Amino acid sequence: MPSGPLFPTLEQLYGPLTPLDSGMQSRVYTDAAGQLVVKVYRDQLGEHRIEAANMRRAGMAQWVIATHEADGVEVLVTRRFEGHPLTRHDVWRALPRIKQILEHLHADERGLVNLQPLRERLKRFRSGLAAYALDDLFEAIEGPLAAGYLAAQASFCHLDLWQDNILIAPSSDVLIIDWTKADWDDPMRDLALLKTGTLDLLPRQESIDAALQVVPDDLASRRRFRAYLAHTYLHDIYWFLMNEPYEFDHQLEVKSRRARHALAHLEEAGKS
């Protein structure tokens, strides 16, 4: 067994590091005082600098302390937020602040959305999910795409708004973390990801009601939100098929039911 600190250079700077969490892309530690988060990336792809730059772009420069390439790893150091990942009991309390954060984020616009990656993803999903009765979900995204409804201004988006990436404090302050996937895209795609990754902690109708609190109340936005919602559920179903096939049958049932309920509700809302 090796002796001594795992990250000697980092621990010279920040003192002994205590593990907080471990995920697929990173390991997270806190410093001796418990006031910093030291995020160590599993792969050396420059993600520490990308995430720091994305946080600054999102107006979060005050949270970024430093980036390092030391002890054979890439590291991002940020201030620690005293909160916990969202649970279903936190959603309504957090929603007004989430809406504020995303409106600020999505106000940063640049050019038009590049729809080619979407077309490529849909081809991949079609091929992988051909054996399953999901044509209605595909039509809900492919129809608007073919009709030109998804041609829209690109905004800066987080693109990973699932519940563990949204922290809430006892004061109801909210912090969105993990900015490695942030990029220029349709803000309605971001809101669709929020719906499937976080708001679906709630019962089906309540989840839709919560989503409509953050989606702009105009036909073009609601039409795009509905389309990206279908795309996001298809993405999730495909992900389970490829990565966790032992969970696939259950997730196919749950997510397709959620998708059809949401799409039907949004279609009726669009007619009213």
Reading the block at residue 217, the tokens are 């109340």
The C-alpha atoms of residue 81 and residue 77 are separated, in whole angstroms, by 12
Residue range(s) of every CATH 3.30.200.20 domain in the chain: 8-79
The C-alpha atoms of residue 268 and residue 272 are separated, in whole angstroms, by 7
Is-contact 138 231, C-beta < 8 A?
no
pLDDT tens-digit readout, 189-233:
999 999 999 999 999 999 999 999 999 999 999 999 999 999 999
Distance between the two ends of the chain, CA-based, in angstroms?
67
Whether the pLDDT of residue 162 is over 90: the answer is yes
pLDDT score for 43: 81
Q: Which CATH number fits domain 8-79: 3.40.1710.10, 3.90.1150.10, 3.30.200.20, 3.30.70.1060?
A: 3.30.200.20
The C-alpha atoms of residue 231 and residue 195 are separated, in whole angstroms, by 12
Q: What is the DSSP string of 22-40?
A: E-SSEEEEE-TTS-EEEEE
pLDDT tens-digit readout, 42-53:
888 899 999 999
pLDDT score for 20: 87
Reading the block at residue 209, the tokens are 């009601």
Residue 34, helix vs strand vs coil: coil
pLDDT score for 6: 82
Q: Which residue has the higher pLDDT, 152 or 20?
A: 152
pLDDT score for 3: 46
pLDDT tens-digit readout, 132-145:
999 999 999 999 99
Place of tokens 């993803």: 121
Least confident stretch, 19-28, 62-71, 141-150: 19-28
Residue 183, helix vs strand vs coil: strand
Residue range(s) of every CATH 3.90.1200.10 domain in the chain: 84-271
Segment 243-262 shows an average pLDDT of 96
The C-alpha atoms of residue 211 and residue 240 are separated, in whole angstroms, by 24
Q: Which of 25, 70, 64 is nearest to 45 (CA)?
A: 25
pLDDT tens-digit readout, 114-138:
999 999 999 999 999 999 999 999 9
pLDDT score for 192: 98
Class of domain 84-271: alpha beta
pTM of the model: 0.92
pLDDT score for 2: 46
